[in-house]
Chain A
Amino acid sequence: MRIAWFTPLSARTGIAKYSLSAASAVSQLADVDVWTTPREDDYQTDLTVSDIGGLRHAADLTGYDHVVYNLGNNPDMHADIFDAYTRNPGVVIQHDKTMAHFMRVYYSVAHEDPSRYRDLLAYYYGAEAAAQASRQILGLGGHGGDLPLVEPCLWNATGVVVHSEDALAVVDRYPGIVPVVCIDHPFYLPIETPGSSPGRTALGIAADDILLVSHGRIGDAKRLEQTIRALSLLPAEARDRVRFVVAGGAHPALVERALSQARALGLGDRVRITGFLPEQELQAWLGAADVFINLRYPSTESASGSLIEQLSYTAPVVVSDIGFYATFPEGTLVRTPPADEGTAIASALAPLILDGQLRRRIGDRTHEYAAQRFARETYAHRLIEFLDRVSASRARLSEVDAIGRGLLDVEPDGVRAEVTRGVDLLRSRGIPDMSDGGGVS
């Protein structure tokens, strides 16, 4: 089996780390070529890498049995991949449960075609939702901008992969003709960096400090301000030992807000936001952490790459009890109510800060569970099995989509009638026939 794997490789997205791990594991079972837009901060891989910019015709991909597109809500990282997807059908690995930001920027900004963005909202959610979404952009009222708009990632998909069960319902738009599957996210590969990582002392962490670490690109959903409030609510003996480091970038306004909040709460010297870090420094902070904090509300991702990365270590992780995080068994992740404003987070943190044995016990148990559930080999086998299912259903899907292409020659006011005729035709042929394994899981 030959697979074209479209992905960003930039160090500025966790999806690059996912792809390094997943594609290399799959390459033990199939031939995998990576297609990407080269960037200066790309991770290196032993797989053959081709430039998406050099992809001129669909024929360039005909040598592959499957084209796999990694799609996520970051337009800087995925616009080129989405472009390729719109021209060539393939299997979509959907990393986010909402694509509203991506679609807004992709159509309204990158393509300077706001009407197309508006029309897609109108089509999927109704004209009023579209008008509200446009107005909301300017703060002129309306509440349409939070609509997920994942649907444009599905119309040209031959199959869809997600990494959490609750994302399945979001992508299962064509049951019976487009297979969908949930496969647990694989562990990341260790990223090789030159030299050795600095230890705690070099990072400025005293031996008896308890280091709390969050990492990744920090937005409002990661509950930074609630976390800082929680630190202020800790009992004095815990608060006085704690250091909280956010190892990653955030919007300048959020950084300013969070740091001024910390100062106001008397935690100015205990909270640090590093900004984007080179891999070696990031790994140093992750390796030094006593407790990870990985909160999310709302939950918009199919899984959480930052959590997967933290699970490679043995520090316990405090999370929000929502989405992917809620799929872990009791006694592993330390869960808090998603909308908590600080009190429950503080209650979860205090015993972990004060009790080293508790940290080790929970951390080891979680790591052991995760090592089994997120094994890379398991991921590779399940993905190949799924691609076989996609192959089995492709003939049926091609017949449906061929009629869809024919609609482009029909006058707009005749499209719905032509759709009715097309469906009648498909059903008169007994297509799609579910009897040979094309169903959804």
Chain B
Amino acid sequence: MSAGRDGVQREVLERRLLDRYANCADDAARAAFLGTDGRDDWKTVVASRILGMWPRIKAIPVLGPAVHRVFTMLRKRGA
């Protein structure tokens, strides 16, 4: 890391620029930039899919709270 004559670290400027890119780039560009395309294992893919469906699952009477309890139990066991 280096600090210029103005006292601001080069690293800070780079961080701001990269942060903006990581948060603003479209999905394909961001994944290519990060190298995250196709690198998830099956567990991560399943977790992501279920997370995406969660609002619909939790709205189902009985099933939603039951699934939540299972998740909570699994999370505690995993922790």
- Hey, which bits of chain A sit against chain B, CB under 8 A? 86, 104, 108-109, 112-116, 118-120, 122-124, 127, 130-131, 134-143, 151-152, 154-156, 173-178, 252-253, 400-401, 403-405, 407-408, 412-413, 415-416, 419-420, 422-423, 426-427, 430-435
Contacts and interface: CB of A to CB of B under 8 A. Distances in A.
B9 to A, nearest CB: 7
A120 B22 contact: yes
A139 B8 contact: no
Q: Indicate the size class of the contact surface on chain B.
A: 35 or more
Given A114-B48, A122-B34, A400-B13, A408 B21 contact: yes
A252 B51 CA distance: 21
A152 B29 contact: no
B62 to A, nearest CB: 13
B32 to A, nearest CB: 4
A255 to B, nearest CB: 13
A403 B20 CA distance: 10
Contacts of B9: 175-176
B50 interface: yes
Contacts of A124: 22
Nearest to A110: B55
Contact of B31 (A119, A134, A141, A431): A119
A435 B49 CA distance: 51
Contacts of B20: 155-156, 401, 404-405, 407
A139 B52 contact: no
B15 A130 contact: no
| Interface SS, A side | helix
Interface of B: 4-10, 12-25, 27, 29-36, 39-41, 43-44, 46-52, 54-55, 65, 68-69, 71-75, 77-79
B12 A104 contact: no
Given A427-B6, A433-B6, A138 B43 contact: yes
A412 B33 contact: yes
B15 A173 contact: yes
Contact of A139 (B18, B35, B54, B78): B78
Given A115-B31, A116-B27, A407-B21, A175 B12 contact: yes
B38 to A, nearest CB: 11
15 contacts: A108-B48, A113-B27, A114-B47, A119-B30, A120-B23, A127-B36, A138-B71, A139-B78, A151-B19, A175-B9, A404-B20, A415-B18, A416-B18, A423-B14, A432-B8
A404 B31 CA distance: 18
A109 B54 CA distance: 7
A142 B78 contact: yes
Given A115-B48, A118-B40, A176 B23 contact: no
B56 to A, nearest CB: 10
B7 A176 contact: yes
